[in-house]
Amino acid sequence: MSFQDLGLRPEIARALEEIEYREPTPIQSKAIPLLLEGNDVMACAQTGTGKTAAFALPILHRLLEGEKNHLRALILVPTRELAIQVAKNINAYAAHAGITTTCAYGGVPIEPQEMMLRHGVDILVATPGRLIDHMWRGNIDYRHTEVLVLDEADRMLDMGFIKDVLEIVREIPTDRQSMLFSATLGPDITRLSKQLLKEPVRIEVAPPASTVDKVEQFIIRVNRDEKAGVLEDLIRQHDMRRSIVFTKTKVGASRLASHLRRRGIQAEAIHSNRSQEERVRTLEAFRGGTIHVLVATDIAARGIDVDEITHVVNYDVPYAAEDYVHRIGRTARAGRTGMAIMLVTKEEMRGVRSIERLIGFSLPEEGGELVPLSAGERGSEPSRRSASRRSGGGRRERGGAGRRGASRGGRSGGGDRHSRQDEGVAAGASFGESRATGETRNGAAPGGPKKRRRRKPRSGGPGEPARGARTQRDQETRNDRPNPSDRDRNGKKEKRSIVQTLLGKLGFGD
């Protein structure tokens, strides 16, 4: 089957032929016909399966009819790297269509984006935070918007974007076509789809949380202080010329990249604390082969579309088991093979067990093979932790001025309230999460009367009475204290005697 067999317009088919897109991938074969018919779609597709073309090609086919230079399609993505990548791909598909595509994301000056939007665009690829900033500035007109896409919807929920997404959707006409693409289809995604989609057709090209068949996966047990040395040996042993190393934190990524450079390995870190210019320069160097090892955090890695990545190293076990699937999806693309290695300490084995239950296989040590788990071993799917718990209490990074300050004319680049979202910082709780039924912290059922806890008197040190107990000595001390009224009367008598003595000396005694 070719793309022309799917019913796409000749202008689009010609552009696809020029970029050597020969045959549609499974997600494209299933999604494109449904979207051309006007259906809402909820699709589960892993990274690297061609899902960008799956939703972009039907949008271009639809937008070839009608007026140009009106915002007719909106694509929401979680990170700036993904926004850049999606816009780049759409521009390649639309080479002969005369359709304008631009992207809006934080971390860069807002004025150039503002000029593009006011000039007129057909397709906008945006991160939720920066898009809301443009809405407050009056740069967005949704009257002609007829297509809405949520790409990487699961990651947007993890990063706490649900309120911003719903705020944006409320402004878009309801008579639209909506699409939701996600690597996992958990309960949160299902609840979100009920709010955004109308009778959606569900598509799954691979079981949720499945891992790529052509990826060799294994773990290496290490002590924490040995991880950096073991990673260095692996890089040299396997001749990793194009690999990604994942860490949990931005600080950890920077420190690890510095360590590898000191050891003579061409490595660089990419995370949200780096400027957009630095991130783009790092990715270009990685694509060009100047950098051999890219050390990244989970969120910053979204949107990294680099071919021929041979190795993925999980330097830290991910917070959530689903992130493991996203990580190893960076390798073994387009039918190639790849290798995924995880360095595991004794304390991290619990996270490994969660990953194994999710993917349905037992991860072997080096040289072993994946062994399917039995139904009893697999048990229930591990639940996704709330993002606030992962981020240490829901702290959010902010990029500068406050919310109202951004909308009232803060002109500096990247200083808007929502730049924390475009920086890709996980924060806030997942959509739909609530306190489970059962007892609350104070022991009462939710909604019921609170139980009062009776405080027990704390005992003091050896030979000391319990706190709150009044001893006989304390009572005697209280009884020995002078009465305030007696003290006042004694003071008055003393002053009177002094005055009388002075008057007597002066001869006024009689």
Question: Which residue has 């002078």 as its token pair?
Answer: 482
Give the distance, in angstroms, between the CA of residue 483 and the centroid of all CA atoms in the same chain: 67
Own/partner pairs, 349-353, CB within 8 angstroms, 24+ separation: 351/317, 351/318, 351/319, 351/321, 352/219, 352/317
HEC states along 183-252? CCCCHHHHHHHHHHCCCCEEEECCCCCCCCCCEEEEEEECCHHHHHHHHHHHHHHCCCCCEEEEECCHHH
Three-class DSSP category at 52: helix
CATH fold for domain 4-204: Rossmann fold (3.40.50)
Say what the pTM is.
0.64
pLDDT number for residue 377: 64
pLDDT number for residue 219: 93
Three-class DSSP category at 19: coil
Q: Selecting from 3.40.50.720, 3.40.50.300, 2.102.10.10, 3.40.47.10, what CATH number does the domain 215-378 have? A: 3.40.50.300
pLDDT number for residue 159: 81
Cα separation, 414 vs 317, in Å, equals 32
The two tokens of residue 253 are 């990524």
The two tokens of residue 229 are 């040395």
pLDDT number for residue 335: 62
Indicate the helix (H) or strand (E) that contains 149: strand 147-150
Residues of the chain with CATH 3.40.50.300: 4-204, 215-378
pLDDT tens across the length of the chain (510 residues) = 778 788 899 999 999 999 988 889 889 999 999 999 999 999 988 777 788 999 999 999 999 988 888 999 999 999 888 999 999 999 999 999 999 999 999 988 999 999 999 999 999 999 999 999 999 999 999 999 999 999 989 888 878 888 999 999 999 999 999 999 987 788 888 899 999 999 999 998 765 555 556 788 999 999 999 999 999 999 999 889 889 999 999 999 999 999 999 999 999 999 878 887 888 899 889 988 999 999 998 876 666 777 788 899 999 999 888 888 888 877 876 667 889 999 999 999 999 999 998 888 899 987 767 777 766 666 554 444 433 333 343 333 333 333 333 333 333 344 444 444 444 443 333 333 333 333 343 444 444 444 455 554 454 444 444 444 444 444 444 444 455 555 555 566 666 777 777 777 676 655
pLDDT number for residue 204: 86
Which of these, 95, 252, 85, 71, lies nearest to 173 by C-alpha position?
A: 71
Outline where DSSP puts E strands in 249-375: 267-270, 293-297, 311-314, 338-344, 361-362, 371-372
Q: Are the beta carbons of 77 and 154 closer than 8 angstroms? A: no
Which of these, 426, 420, 425, 445, lies nearest to 435 by C-alpha position?
A: 445
**Count of CB atoms situated within 10 Å of the CB of 429:** 18
pLDDT number for residue 262: 95
